[in-house]
Structure 1
């Protein structure tokens, strides 16, 4: 099979494909963006599809970012089980532009992405829906007097779609899930972890849901008594709704 890379543009989109042995780039071309699906279909079967992720240098989403991620989600859904990955393309267009061949810039950008992939660069796997969470997990939130929730990382991702009576401040590091979670009406969403914003909001937060790598930092920032929930293991958690859940509380640091 072949690998493919796609540089999605407003009007034109670049494609690059490997040879069937996936050792070299054998074809580079530019098509109308409306013809993306036709180009994919004509080159099937594919072992994986790489889509360029055009976030800006300030790590902020632009209209082009949303367009590329939404197209990646659509491709992942329509061509499953072919894996789709997002890869940072902030510098590919600049490199392609310096080649002074404007009519094939998109194709060159796609070829640079594909070359990086062949050289071992990693991407983020694209999914088209939020992870499944059972009602037993969402029922956890009825046990406490919670109103404002801060979420960091991937643990219990998507719980905001089940707990409509809570307000969520969410810091999402995955571009696909950032777009999927942006459709939530009861949350304020940020791309990436911004500790300054978290610190400013800390006194208003009743519950923190975060990945284990952020637990210790959360204990330093949030006020005494704040509950911290993360996904653990059978050695340190409670088995609820198909997941091991770890529950901790921020202690009074002055008395430690």
Structure 2
């Protein structure tokens, strides 16, 4: 079974998954929020997922950020539609910044580095790696 992570945004949702042995986190894709539920349904018809990991947007002092209410609704809907899949929220502070730094150091061509969805998928991958490391 895989673990799936989401970097939720109102314009894009970055998605990452593990391999079936839950060892390696890999960027999967970026999906528009309006297309997300169809995408997830199709994905889950083909792959078994044991856990959803969602980045929880917090401010530096640990309080909820302005975008946190969007994530609350997203998590509620995930739990409602997929009650048998565990949902875990983890602190996502600095993941976008880390993702941007990782992309900048990656050696990708400038045009590829500027793709907006790339930061979201890399952020989702960092969220998933953080979760895997915390459970190692």
- Give the TM-score of the pair, scaled to structure 1: 0.45
* Ranges in structure 2 where 5+ consecutive residues have no aligned partner: 105-112
* Ranges in structure 1 where 5+ consecutive residues have no aligned partner: 123-256
- Tell me which residue corresponds to 2:107: none
Query: Bigger radius of gyration, 1 or 2?
Result: 1
1:28–1:108 CA contact under 8 A, matched in 2: no
* CA root-mean-square deviation: 1.8
- Between the aligned partners of 1:40 and 1:4, the Cα distance in structure 2 is 10
4+ runs deviating over 6 angstroms: none
Highest RCO, 1 vs 2 (Cα 8 Å, sep ≥ 6): 2
Shift of 1:27: 4.1
1:130-161 per-residue CA deviation (whole Å, 9 max, x = no partner) reads xxxxxxxxxxxxxxxxxxxxxxxxxxxxxxxx
1:3–1:22 CA contact under 8 A, matched in 2: yes
- Between the aligned partners of 1:70 and 1:20, the Cα distance in structure 2 is 28
**How many residues in Structure 1 have an aligned counterpart in Structure 2?**
122
- Between the aligned partners of 2:63 and 2:71, the Cα distance in structure 1 is 14
- Give the TM-score of the pair, scaled to structure 2: 0.81
1:89–1:113 CA contact under 8 A, matched in 2: yes
Shift of 1:90: 0.5
- Bigger fraction of residues in helix: 2
1:50–1:84 CA contact under 8 A, matched in 2: yes
- Tell me which residue corresponds to 1:68: 71
